[in-house]
């Protein structure tokens, strides 16, 4: 790590809105240069969760019992490994506090229960009342928020933030400062000076204050050549140069420009230990980084973690759809109904010869989801053969007259201008008709 440097706040009379990068009447601009940024993958990387905070900001609130069920499933996926290390909770309503109490009663080591508050003294009272050991504190970083939302200047904003951080430290609570809108913030003029003050406070109290980099509108860019304030590698490198340990840096991203997941992975690769997520990407506007995606991303970067229950991701998806009303698109990666289902006949033929040809990993073993074939006019005899063999204890040739008979029924449907897929119910009926008494028992 490079030598720590001293930085001071740059107060300004008017906000720096980076108009050359954020014209507003046009799409945001990408800044690139040729300066090198080296990767720095921390020894330990992990996931935190904001399903119960940011994840609820775009949907009806969860009931306390639903929060508990999700919390139980997050714990089941984690398997006491610390991969899913923390969850953050609202504390404002009686329903919020009841959910926290139910989860605390479980006594799980992971995910740890933390709070989220605004940087006002009245909010901190809620943290003390709940007996939490850590809380997130909203410390908006950009001039858009400081000048236009809070109606303050930089020094006033910083002073108010530090007052609440000190109150947390005085009461034995670990502060986690959420630098809201950091991808539109004056990095050298406000972000680094503020973090420098936090480092000095943490040193004085002997407490590792955490820094969450919040890409509030999804402006972050994953490329090493991307300039500040949008470049994720440089945002993290600056904190590391200042002396912030990787273990105290966390990334929180949104998906407004389809970069939620790649920015989170980039944060890991360039020195950030924690990435903040929500189940299936739920959250305000386009949502947060998907938790399940980062569980799999972690396995790809660090290898499989003994104890992590990857198949419980499928269980979580089933609960979210059935009990929470989540509308997970059929083609949604990892958990969508059709994520490992092929429709093309040539693909189905490949699956029959060797599943690895068209299945990205052993989805049955790792996620409890066997590879499948959807029946359409493009499926062909190979797909029909695969559908039958995957459901009944049998091996059959794709040239078998009974397979051809079913294919002819399907062709006839589409010859009459059908546009929908063939349902499983229809397939079961047709298979029973052509096989009759010779139909073997179903697979378990």
Within-domain flag for 203: yes
pLDDT in tens, 358-372: 888 999 899 998 887
What's the CATH number where 132 sits? 3.20.20.70
Instruction: Determine if residue 436 is left, alpha or beta; phi over 0 gives left, psi from -120 to 50 gives alpha, anything else beta.
Output: left
- C-alpha to C-alpha distance for 321 and 316, rounded to whole angstroms: 9
Mean pLDDT of the residues in the chain: 94
pLDDT at residue 234 above 90?
yes
Cβ distance 282 to 288 under 8 Å? yes
- C-alpha to C-alpha distance for 264 and 78, rounded to whole angstroms: 19
Average pLDDT over residues 205-218: 98
Higher-confidence residue of 198 and 419: namely 198
364 and 263 both lie in a single domain = no
Within-domain flag for 24: no
Structure tokens at 429: 């009926």
The pLDDT value recorded for residue 1 is 44
Calculate what percentage of the chain has a pLDDT beyond 90. Answer: 82
98 and 214 both lie in a single domain = yes
The pLDDT value recorded for residue 2 is 47
pLDDT at residue 345 above 60?
no
319 and 351 both lie in a single domain = no
CB hemisphere CA count around 349 (13 angstroms):
9
Integer angstrom CA distances of residue 341 from 102, 319, 367, 387? 38, 21, 14, 11
Average pLDDT over residues 232-241: 98
CB hemisphere CA count around 111 (13 angstroms):
33
351 and 217 both lie in a single domain = no
Within-domain flag for 25: no
pLDDT at residue 158 above 90?
yes
292 and 203 both lie in a single domain = yes
pLDDT in tens, 76-119: 999 999 999 999 999 999 999 999 999 999 999 999 999 999 99
| Number of domains comprising the chain | 2
Q: Which pLDDT band holds residue 4 (cuts at 50, 70, 90)?
A: low
Domain that holds residue 346: 341-438
Q: Which of 271, 293, 323 is at the close of a domain?
A: 323
Calculate what percentage of the chain has a pLDDT beyond 70. Answer: 96
Q: Phi and psi dihedrals of 343, rounded to 5?
A: -110, -30
Within-domain flag for 28: no
The pLDDT value recorded for residue 444 is 66
290 and 163 both lie in a single domain = yes
- C-alpha to C-alpha distance for 311 and 178, rounded to whole angstroms: 32
Within-domain flag for 444: no
pLDDT in tens, 387-403: 898 889 899 998 999 99
Q: Which pLDDT band holds residue 3 (cuts at 50, 70, 90)?
A: very low
287 and 356 both lie in a single domain = no
306 and 167 both lie in a single domain = yes
The pLDDT value recorded for residue 346 is 57
Q: Residue 50's closest CA among 211, 334, 272, 290?
A: 290
- C-alpha to C-alpha distance for 389 and 377, rounded to whole angstroms: 19
Integer angstrom CA distances of residue 407 from 341, 387, 389? 19, 12, 15
267 and 127 both lie in a single domain = yes
Within-domain flag for 335: no
318 and 367 both lie in a single domain = no
Q: Among 78-82, 109-113, 418-422, 425-429, which is the least confidently predicted range?
A: 418-422
Structure tokens at 405: 């008979």
Q: Residue 189's closest CA among 218, 164, 155, 160?
A: 155
Q: Which of 323, 349, 384 is at the close of a domain?
A: 323
Burial of 324 (0-12, 13-18, 19+ CB in 10 A): middle
- C-alpha to C-alpha distance for 230 and 222, rounded to whole angstroms: 9
Cα 54 to chain center, whole Å? 11
308 and 386 both lie in a single domain = no
Torsion of CA 287, 253, 13, 240, to 10 degrees: 170
Q: Which of 323, 352, 382 is at the close of a domain?
A: 323
Q: Residue 228's closest CA among 274, 273, 191, 280?
A: 191
Within-domain flag for 13: no
Q: Residue 66's closest CA among 291, 324, 325, 284?
A: 324
- C-alpha to C-alpha distance for 319 and 72, rounded to whole angstroms: 11
Cβ distance 99 to 53 under 8 Å? no
The pLDDT value recorded for residue 352 is 63
261 and 363 both lie in a single domain = no
Name the 3-class secondary structure at 276. Answer: strand
Q: Which pLDDT band holds residue 324 (cuts at 50, 70, 90)?
A: very high
The pLDDT value recorded for residue 354 is 79
Within-domain flag for 411: yes
Name the 3-class secondary structure at 124. Answer: helix
- C-alpha to C-alpha distance for 293 and 277, rounded to whole angstroms: 9
pTM above 0.85, yes or no: yes
């Amino acid at each position: 790590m490079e030598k720590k440097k001293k930085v001071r706040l740059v107060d300004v009379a008017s906000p720096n809105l980076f108009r050359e990068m954020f014209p507003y009447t046009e799409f945001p601009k990408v800044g690139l240069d040729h300066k090198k940024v080296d990767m720095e993958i921390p020894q330990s990387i992990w996931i935190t969760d904001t399903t119960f905070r940011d994840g609820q900001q775009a949907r009806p609130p969860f009931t306390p019992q639903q929060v508990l069920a999700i919390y139980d499933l997050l714990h089941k996926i984690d398997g006491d490994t610390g991969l899913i290390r923390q969850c953050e909770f609202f504390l404002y309503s009686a329903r919020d506090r009841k959910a926290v109490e139910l989860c605390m009663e479980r006594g799980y080591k992971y995910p740890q229960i933390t709070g989220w508050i605004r940087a006002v003294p009245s909010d901190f009272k809620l943290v003390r009342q709940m007996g939490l050991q850590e809380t997130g504190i909203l410390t908006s970083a950009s001039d858009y928020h400081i000048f236009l939302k809070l109606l303050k200047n930089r020094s006033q904003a910083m002073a108010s933030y530090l007052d609440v951080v000190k109150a947390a430290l005085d009461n034995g609570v670990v502060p986690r400062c959420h630098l809201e809108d950091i991808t539109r913030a004056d990095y050298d003029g406000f972000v680094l000076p503020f973090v420098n003050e936090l480092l000095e406070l943490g040193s004085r109290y002997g407490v590792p204050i955490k820094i969450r980099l919040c890409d509030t509108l999804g402006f972050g860019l994953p490329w090493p050549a991307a300039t500040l304030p949008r470049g994720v590698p440089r945002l993290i490198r600056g904190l590391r140069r200042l002396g912030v340990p990787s273990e105290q840096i966390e990334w929180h991203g949104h998906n407004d420009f389809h970069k939620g997941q790649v920015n989170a992975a980039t944060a890991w690769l360039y020195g950030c230990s924690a990435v903040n997520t929500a189940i299936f990407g739920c959250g305000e506007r386009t949502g947060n980084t998907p938790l399940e995606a980062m569980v799999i991303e972690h396995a790809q970067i660090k290898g499989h973690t003994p104890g992590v229950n990857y198949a419980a991701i499928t269980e979580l998806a089933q609960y979210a759809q059935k009990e929470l009303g989540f509308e997970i698109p059929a083609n949604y990666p990892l958990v969508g109904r059709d994520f490992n289902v092929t429709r093309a006949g040539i693909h189905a033929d490949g699956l029959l010869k060797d599943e690895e040809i068209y299945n990205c990993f052993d989805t049955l073993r790792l996620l409890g989801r066997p590879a499948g074939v959807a029946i359409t006019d493009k499926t062909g005899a190979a797909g029909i053969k695969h559908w039958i063999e995957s459901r009944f204890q049998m091996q059959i040739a794709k040239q078998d007259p009974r397979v051809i008979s079913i294919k002819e029924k399907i062709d006839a449907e589409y010859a009459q201008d059908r546009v929908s897929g063939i349902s499983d119910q229809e397939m079961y009926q047709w298979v029973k008709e052509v096989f009759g008494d010779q139909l073997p028992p179903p697979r378990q």
